[in-house]
Amino acid sequence: MQLIHSVPELRARLANEKAVAFVPTMGNLHEGHIELVRIARQQGSCVVVSVFVNPLQFGPNEDFDKYPRTLDADCEKLRGLADVVFAPAVADMYPEQQTLFVEPPPIASELCGEFRPGHFRGMATVVLKLFNLAQPQVAIFGKKDYQQLAIIRQMVTQFNLPITIVGAETSRAADGLALSSRNQYLSLQERTEAAFLSQTLRGMGEALKKGAGDYLALEREAGAALAKRGWGVEYVSVRKQSDLGVPTKGDRKLVIVAAARLGKTRLIDNLDVCL
């Protein structure tokens, strides 16, 4: 496994690769990321993992400064799994001030986008830059970031990028909590409570499957149940899997998406529901 920091070195290393499978990350790798890398191994002959905490996708009051940076430990975890780890500095990714951006689709201002203005614009911009650098044939993203994945799929389609996007199932702890680097911000007590988010989504999923058709009522009930236990609920919403639009009666492929804060930690989760 080769650790590369600079753009010219990355380009030189990948110049003759014909089947790059790419996993973009912000590092602090957990089992969920490692699963993405295992999937990448099945998809390409050269597995590239990027580790870059992208300032462009963090709001002024978010956790950019405290986001855990653990490159040495990340490289240890990737040894034997990845061929290249690309870990650029901010100046490598943004050698001049970024004045051009990917303008994400309207869905980017709903759900997480409503609470994290500019997040998806910064995310899509860095992902496009990383795609241009790694020039992968396949890129793997976790379904935990459902809205991110939907926006990347649209970007790839609408910009005619010759990249197959693979969405990987969410890796979970034994109690159902979706794995996330941000879980480590949770206190012990919060960590126990955190499983309630996925439980809530599963409860909603069962209700939908039993025929509950008033999505707004379900969302309100779930939000109230979370709030009662001290969660700061941003949204709980039933959407269409295809484009995250609001479903109408005939839509059968649904996803429940949610974001809520436990103390200072913001958690997101989702559940696909096929009726």
Q: How far is CA 238 from CA 17, 30, 183, 257, in A?
A: 42, 28, 24, 6
CA atoms within 13 A on the CB side of 206: 6
- Under rule CB under 6 A, how many of the chain's residues touch ligand PAF? 10
Binding mask 141-160 for ligand PAF (x = CB under 6 A): ----x--x------------
Number of H helices and E strands in the chain, helices first, is 9, 9
Give the C-alpha separation, 123 to 102, whole Å.
Answer: 9
CB of 181 to ligand PAF, least distance (A): 8
Axis-axis angle for helices 119-134, 146-158 (nearest 10): 60
Stretch that binds ligand PAF, among 22-30, 92-100, 157-165, 205-213 (CB under 6 A): 22-30
Give the C-alpha separation, 240 to 246, whole Å.
Answer: 6
Q: What angle do CA 26, 143, 87 make, to 5 degrees?
A: 15
CB of 54 to ligand PAF, least distance (A): 4
Select 116 or 239, whichever has its Cβ closest to ligand PAF: 116
Question: Which sign does the torsion angle of CA 122, 71, 28, 18 carry?
Answer: positive
Q: Is 33 a residue of the active site?
A: yes
SS3 at position 48: strand
Is 26 near ligand PAF (CB under 6 A)? yes
Q: Which residue in the set 10, 36, 102, 126 belongs to the binding site for ligand PAF (CB under 6 A)?
A: 126
Stretch that binds ligand PAF, among 21-29, 96-104, 211-219, 241-249 (CB under 6 A): 21-29
Q: Which residue in the set 36, 40, 44, 54 belongs to the binding site for ligand PAF (CB under 6 A)?
A: 54
Q: Which residue in the set 22, 24, 47, 83 belongs to the binding site for ligand PAF (CB under 6 A)?
A: 24
Which positions lie near ligand PAF, rule CB under 6 A? 24-26, 54, 57, 123, 126-127, 145, 148
Please identify every residue annotated as catalytic: 33
